[in-house]
């Protein structure tokens, strides 16, 4: 389901976002539901009213237009009376601008819900996913390897406390529309000022090295990626990305077949 309650988005225990008592004396805890699917986002939130009467199973639900900051009349469900929608709309008008902007910020956060969870787990996040529509195809570097053209996507670690100045380069085939999604052909971590490490490649080692070096030796490209990294981290702070909890690991014994490699 693409609509999620805000407490789930924020990663807190189930709780209403505010309390409300209507003119008839009914008391409610109001849970705000936000759209997490970017393709379905229309700038609205759904308010769910949790009453104190356990016998009432059908909870009132009302849509609110965030930009206009008003109730969408006629779209509510399970309303206890015909005055419920206009009464709520009048109540919303006393919200200060800071509270209204808070809900708009939550809506923006919700649209990046999956990205935030990935970042909190320590995965890199693509710049184009965090800022959709900002980049055109020609903004991505292209590299020719073994007679094929590849587009290079850039991804970043934005988890709080991770200060590695690094970009993850993802090489995918430059395919035309209508074909299956291209698989990753080469995956590389570029640690600015120190070197790079190829994590995955379907090419021979010399081919992979030449492809990566064509990028890491480009000073202008490095400047662009550094700026994007800084912007991604700022956005991560705004969206409330949480640091991954510390989980101690048991050191591996000698001769276990595992090895660690540093940047080239």
* Range list of H helices, the chain: 6-10, 84-92, 97-111, 113-120, 127-130, 205-216, 219-239
Which pairs with CB-CB distance under 8 Å and at least 24 residues apart come from 107-111?
107/34, 107/35, 107/41, 107/43, 107/45, 107/66, 108/239, 109/9, 109/34, 109/239, 109/240, 110/4, 110/6, 110/9, 110/34, 110/35, 110/36, 111/35, 111/36, 111/37, 111/38, 111/41
Residues 6+ apart with CB under 8 A from 155: 124, 125, 126, 127, 167, 168, 170
How far apart CA 122 and CA 137 sit, in angstroms, is 27
How far apart CA 25 and CA 224 sit, in angstroms, is 58
- Token pair 């939550």 is found at 106
Beta strands at 125-126 and 148-156: parallel, antiparallel or unpaired: antiparallel
**CB contact at 8 A, 89 and 74:** no
Picking from 259, 157, 144, the residue whose alpha carbon sits closest to that of residue 210 is 144
* Beta-carbon count within 10 A of 12 CB: 10
Residues 6+ apart with CB under 8 A from 252: 258
**CB contact at 8 A, 102 and 88:** no
**CB contact at 8 A, 48 and 61:** yes
pLDDT one digit per residue (tens) for the chain, 264 residues? 589 999 998 888 999 999 999 888 889 999 999 998 877 777 899 999 998 877 777 899 999 999 999 999 999 999 999 999 999 999 999 999 999 999 999 998 898 888 888 999 889 999 999 998 899 999 999 999 989 999 999 999 999 888 899 999 999 998 765 556 678 999 999 999 999 999 999 999 999 999 999 999 999 999 999 999 999 999 999 888 888 765 555 544 434 433 334 444
Phi, psi of 44 (to 5 degrees): -125, 155
pTM over 0.85: no
Q: For residue 264, give the 3-state DSSP assignment.
A: coil
**CB contact at 8 A, 169 and 129:** no
Residue-level pLDDT at 56: 73
How far apart CA 66 and CA 130 sit, in angstroms, is 21
Q: What angle do CA 187, 189, 192 make, to 5 degrees?
A: 150
């Amino acid at each position: 389901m693409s609509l999620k309650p805000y407490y789930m988005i924020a990663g807190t225990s189930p709780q209403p976002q505010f309390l409300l008592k209507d003119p008839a004396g009914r008391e409610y805890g109001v849970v705000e539901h936000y759209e997490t699917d970017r393709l379905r986002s229309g700038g609205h939130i759904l308010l769910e009213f949790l009453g104190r009467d356990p016998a009432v199973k059908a909870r009132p639900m009302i849509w609110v237009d965030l930009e206009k900051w008003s109730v969408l009349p006629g779209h509510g469900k399970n309303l206890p009376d015909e005055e419920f929608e206009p009464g709520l709309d009048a109540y919303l008008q006393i919200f200060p601008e800071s509270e209204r902007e808070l809900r708009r910020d939550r809506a923006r956060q919700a649209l990046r819900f999956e990205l935030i969870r990935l970042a909190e787990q320590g995965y890199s996040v693509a710049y184009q996913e965090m800022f959709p529509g900002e980049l055109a195809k020609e903004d991505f570097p292209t590299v020719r390897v073994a007679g094929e053209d590849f587009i290079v996507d850039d991804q970043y670690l934005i988890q709080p406390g991770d200060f590695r100045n690094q970009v993850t380069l993802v090489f995918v085939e430059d395919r035309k529309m209508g074909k299956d999604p291209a698989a990753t052909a080469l995956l590389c971590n570029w640690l600015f000022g120190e070197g790079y490490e190829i994590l995955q490649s379907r090419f021979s080692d010399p081919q992979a090295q030449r492809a990566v070096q064509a990028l890491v030796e480009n000073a202008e490209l490095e400047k662009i990626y550094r700026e994007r990294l800084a912007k991604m981290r700022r956005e991560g702070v705004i969206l409330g990305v949480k640091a991954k909890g510390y989980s101690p690991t048991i050191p591996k014994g000698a001769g276990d077949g595992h090895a660690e490699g540093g940047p080239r």
